[in-house]
């Protein structure tokens, strides 16, 4: 199969957790051997909801960059960059907004979910929507089409956005009688859903996450807090891994079949207590993340990270500049000297 242009982005929400690793980074690292990959940190997308407090933003970008690099993205294979370093993406956003019907935006269920999250009360949430948030998908489309991306690895929650990107690309091509833009396809991968230690979805905002940057001790402490089968209180109570919503779920993600058989046997047969069972689990998890964490802590110097990003920014910018020249050309706009 010929190599395709592939693009994906992640919002800089601060240090990434193990759910991000399993759902995003692991997949990105694999794909860079199959395609021509562009990966970026979507700092403008963060502003669509968090524009009021930007104090942490630059630090968060650096933390995410370290996680991405430690997670296996090789800047010699992939182009790793920061969205806001490419002003041409903003220009493309402006131009694409001209061909995007506003009722397409309002139809996007993913955006509706985002709006709902702005406030408890639906009316209040609507009042909080800014022009920038409405443009979320047009901006995302500009990220993709700016590098003429054909494949976009995303989670299920982003599929509706991508449909819209396809609509925008198609409409642009139709109006300006061009085949400049590919219709980008979502690349859906099966990823395990990782529960947080309290059983809700793993998320920084719930404070139930285990971070890539966490130490082994911190990880073990969090694993000990994981909820287990509520019927198993004492070591001598029989448990049921199926009802152990968090700890056993993590076993299923990180342990091999042999270990799973042992856990099944010991849990059901009341041969082990949950504390010991979870100690074994944290050992397995710490082992799994050992290499990544070693790499992660080796990035002491922010200057090294900034240099890597600088090089990626330059490369990505060249590609998007080229696209913009073509866009202006088919729209009969001038590229001023």
**Residue ranges binding ligand SF4 (CB under 6 A):** 228-229, 232, 239, 241, 244, 247-248, 263, 267, 272, 274, 277-278
Scanning 1-9, 46-54, 73-81, 253-261 for contacts with ligand TRP by CB under 6 A, the matching segment is 1-9
DSSP 8-state class, residue 33? T
Q: Considering Cα of 114, then 115, then 121, then 124, what sign does the dihedral take? A: positive
Q: Is residue 7 within the footprint of ligand TRP (CB under 6 A)?
A: yes
Scanning 66-74, 140-148, 200-208, 296-304 for contacts with ligand TRP by CB under 6 A, the matching segment is 140-148
Choose between 115 and 247: whose C-beta lies nearer to ligand SF4. Answer: 247
Q: Residue 263's binding partner, choosing from ligand TRP, ligand SF4, none, with beta-carbon cut-off 5 to 8 A by kind?
A: ligand SF4
Q: Residue 45's binding partner, choosing from ligand SF4, ligand TRP, none, with beta-carbon cut-off 5 to 8 A by kind?
A: ligand TRP
Q: Over 256-272, what HEC string results?
A: CHHHHHHHHHHHHCCCC
Q: Is residue 45 within the footprint of ligand TRP (CB under 6 A)?
A: yes
Contacting residue, 63, 67, 143, 229, with ligand TRP by CB under 6 A? 143
- Looking at residues 144 to 163 of the shown chain, list those that interact with ligand TRP (rule: CB under 6 A): 144, 152, 154, 158
Tokens of 207: 């404070």
CA distances from 283 to 76, 176, 228, 254, 279 (A): 33, 59, 17, 10, 6
Q: Residue 25's binding partner, choosing from ligand SF4, ligand TRP, none, with beta-carbon cut-off 5 to 8 A by kind?
A: none
Choose between 249 and 317: whose C-beta lies nearer to ligand SF4. Answer: 249
Task: Confirm if 69 and 118 have CB atoms less than 8 A apart.
Answer: no
Q: Residue 274's binding partner, choosing from ligand TRP, ligand SF4, none, with beta-carbon cut-off 5 to 8 A by kind?
A: ligand SF4
Residues 6+ apart with CB under 8 A from 24: 8, 10, 16, 155
Tokens of 286: 């710490």
In the complex, least distance from residue 226 CB atom to ligand SF4, rounded to whole angstroms: 7
Q: Residue 285's binding partner, choosing from ligand SF4, ligand TRP, none, with beta-carbon cut-off 5 to 8 A by kind?
A: none
Q: Is residue 46 within the footprint of ligand TRP (CB under 6 A)?
A: no
- Rounded (10°) angle between helices 43-50 and 57-70: 140
Task: Confirm if 143 and 5 have CB atoms less than 8 A apart.
Answer: no
Separation between Cα atoms, residue 297 and residue 224, nearest integer Å: 24
Separation between Cα atoms, residue 239 and residue 248, nearest integer Å: 11
In the complex, least distance from residue 165 CB atom to ligand SF4, rounded to whole angstroms: 42
What residue is closest to ligand TRP based on CB? Answer: 9
Separation between Cα atoms, residue 78 and residue 61, nearest integer Å: 18
Which chain residues interact with ligand TRP by CB under 6 A? Answer: 7-11, 42, 45, 140, 143-144, 152, 154, 158
């Amino acid at each position: 199969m010929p190599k395709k242009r592939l693009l994906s982005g992640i919002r800089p929400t601060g240090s990434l957790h193990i759910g991000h690793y399993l759902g995003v980074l692991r997949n990105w690292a694999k794909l860079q051997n199959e395609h021509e990959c562009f990966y970026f940190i979507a700092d403008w997308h963060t502003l669509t909801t968090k524009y009021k407090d930007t104090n942490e933003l630059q630090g968060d970008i650096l933390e995410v960059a370290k996680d991405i690099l430690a997670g296996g993205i090789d800047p010699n294979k992939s182009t790793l960059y920061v969205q806001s370093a490419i002003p041409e993406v903003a220009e493309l956003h402006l131009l694409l907004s001209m061909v995007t019907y506003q009722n397409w935006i309002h139809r996007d269920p993913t955006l509706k979910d985002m709006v709902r999250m702005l406030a408890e009360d639906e009316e209040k949430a609507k009042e909080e929507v800014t022009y920038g948030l409405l443009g979320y998908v047009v901006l995302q489309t500009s990220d993709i089409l700016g590098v003429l991306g054909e494949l976009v690895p995303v989670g299920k929650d982003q599929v509706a956005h991508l449909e819209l990107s396809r609509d925008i690309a198609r409409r642009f091509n139709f109006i300006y009688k061009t085949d400049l833009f590919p219709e980008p396809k979502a690349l859906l991968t099966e990823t395990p859903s990782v529960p947080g230690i309290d059983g809700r979805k793993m998320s920084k905002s719930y404070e139930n996450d285990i971070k890539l940057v966490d130490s082994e001790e911190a990880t073990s402490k969090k694993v000990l807090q994981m909820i287990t089968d509520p019927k198993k209180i004492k070591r001598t109570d029989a448990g049921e891994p199926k009802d152990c919503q968090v700890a056993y779920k993590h076993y299923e993600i990180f342990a091999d079949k042999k270990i799973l058989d042992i856990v099944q046997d010991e849990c059901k047969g009341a041969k082990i207590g949950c504390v010991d069972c979870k100690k074994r689990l944290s050992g397995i998890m710490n082992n799994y993340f050992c290499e990544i964490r070693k790499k992660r802590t080796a990035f002491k110097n922010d200057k090294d990270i900034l240099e890597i990003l600088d090089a990626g920014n330059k490369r990505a910018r060249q590609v998007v500049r080229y696209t913009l020249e073509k866009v202006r050309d088919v729209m009969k706009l001038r590229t001023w000297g």
